[in-house]
Structure 1
Amino acid sequence: MEENVFETIAKKYDSTERIELANIIAHKVREELAQAKEKTLIDYGSGTGLIGLQIADSVKNAILVDSSENMVEIINDKVAASNIQNVQTFVADFTKDTMDIKADIVLVSLVLLHIPDTKIILEKLYKTLQTDGKLIIIDFDKNPNVYHPKVHNGFVADELKALLTSTGFKSTNIQQFHHGEKVFMKQDATLFIAVSKK
């Protein structure tokens, strides 16, 4: 089995730069959760919960899912320390595991770029959503200066929109919301938010 690189970096994951970027993303996602007080949210690929734990108070239930046991362990420690009542955690890889959980909202923040087959994960996330559910994707615009054999170098809005439509999503709205220095593999990059309705 291929080693999960995130198991190795979990304990050092919460760097100042990552926390700063997570705060910017959480602020943007919170805008999308204005009417979500009675909703269930899955934060898929939640890492150490930098975003999911910040937005948990915007929803009824927050389910943080990551494929790294070490990452989830760190979330559990944070939940216990902060006494957060409405957060559940799971270790799972939706590209391989089938999970019997449903949500009104699924958040995937800086996750798609790590998944080789984008279409497969979007299909899985589509099935996870309730009818009229909402998928929120945060990721980087395509960046020709970035190269890594295991990471997409970002996404083109129109291509992603077409892929989401072919997966079954009714509508997608994509907007850029932050440009940061050295935020993507030490390169300057622009973040976008894509909101799709099932």
Structure 2
Amino acid sequence: MSTFFDQRAKTWDAEPRRHTLAADLFAALDRAFPLRPDWAALDYGTGTGLLALALAPRVRRILAVDSSAGMLDVLSRKAREDNHANVEILRADFTADPLPDGPFDLVVSAMTLHHIEHPGHLLRAFSRLLAPGGRLALFDLDAEDGTFHATADGVHHRGFCRDELARLLADTGFREADITTATRIEKHGRTYPVFLAAARRNGT
């Protein structure tokens, strides 16, 4: 899967719709959580960092994680050019690699979960990374018929049923799950809702 994104990294940001999507997701995140300047945040599946760089001025530090070296190269250049000194970059796959040192106050992951074969494994990793009571913000597609992606390569889920995701969050160490529509993507002449699943790690 990382090869697919490596090949597209240099032109990824050329699509205006990706900037619009990142802005919409950040706005939904900002409405859902009281972002604090002392927070340590982690963005998993960060890609070229469109969401991470929007979040960076609002937190103390952000660790931007992706398995694609090409995407992270683009992010590294942008972070330097924009003087985001609090952005740290890590190439990793949390379903296979050791987890970084935590804890984090906020974990964000946007449009990544449908690429993960076993979402529960990743959610448990997020739970381990978060401080007790820490916040999780998951963005992904509502269940769809498979027409969103041009190819099924690396796509393990055609979006998610909100009720099933809420149960999975409860089973993997989260509470107070609130799943709402964050934005909608217009593609192929169709509309695909994108949800925000906001939750807290168990503990105080």
TM-score, with length taken from structure 2: 0.89
Could you tell me how far apart the structure 2 residues matched to 1:84 and 1:145 are?
37
Unaligned runs of 5+ in 2: none
Does the alignment pair 1:128 with 2:132?
no
Structure 1 stretches (4+) deviating beyond 4 angstroms?
A: none
Find the counterpart in structure 2 of residue 153 from structure 1: 158
* Contact 1:122 1:164 (8 Å CA) reproduced: yes
Find the counterpart in structure 2 of residue 173 from structure 1: 178
Question: How many residues get paired?
Answer: 195
Does the alignment pair 1:197 with 2:200?
yes
Moved more, 105-114 or 172-181: 172-181
Structure 1 counterpart of 2:60, one-letter code: K
Structure 1 counterpart of 2:49, one-letter code: G
SS of the residue corresponding to residue 51 of structure 1 reads helix
1:1-198 → structure 2 map (5 Å cutoff): 4-14=3-13, 15-102=15-102, 103-146=104-147, 148=152, 150-151=154-155, 152-182=157-187, 187-198=190-201
Structure 2 counterpart of 1:122, one-letter code: L
| Matched-pair identity in % | 30
Pairwise CA distance, 1:3: 5.7
Could you tell me how far apart the structure 1 residues matched to 2:87 and 2:146 are?
38
Unaligned runs of 5+ in 1: none
Cα shift readout 1:60-109 (whole Å, capped 9, x = no counterpart):
11111111111111111001101112111111110111123221110011
Moved more, 14-23 or 143-152: 143-152
Which structure has the higher relative contact order (CA within 8 Å, separation 6+)? 2
Structure 2 counterpart of 1:157, one-letter code: R
Could you tell me how far apart the structure 2 residues matched to 1:36 and 1:80 are?
23
Pairwise CA distance, 1:132: 1.0
Could you tell me how far apart the structure 1 residues matched to 2:153 and 2:47 are?
21
Cα shift readout 1:8-60 (whole Å, capped 9, x = no counterpart):
11111111111111111122122234342111000000000011101111111
Pairwise CA distance, 1:113: 1.0
Distance 1:186-1:97 versus aligned 2 partners, 3 A rule: farther
Moved more, 154-163 or 141-150: 141-150
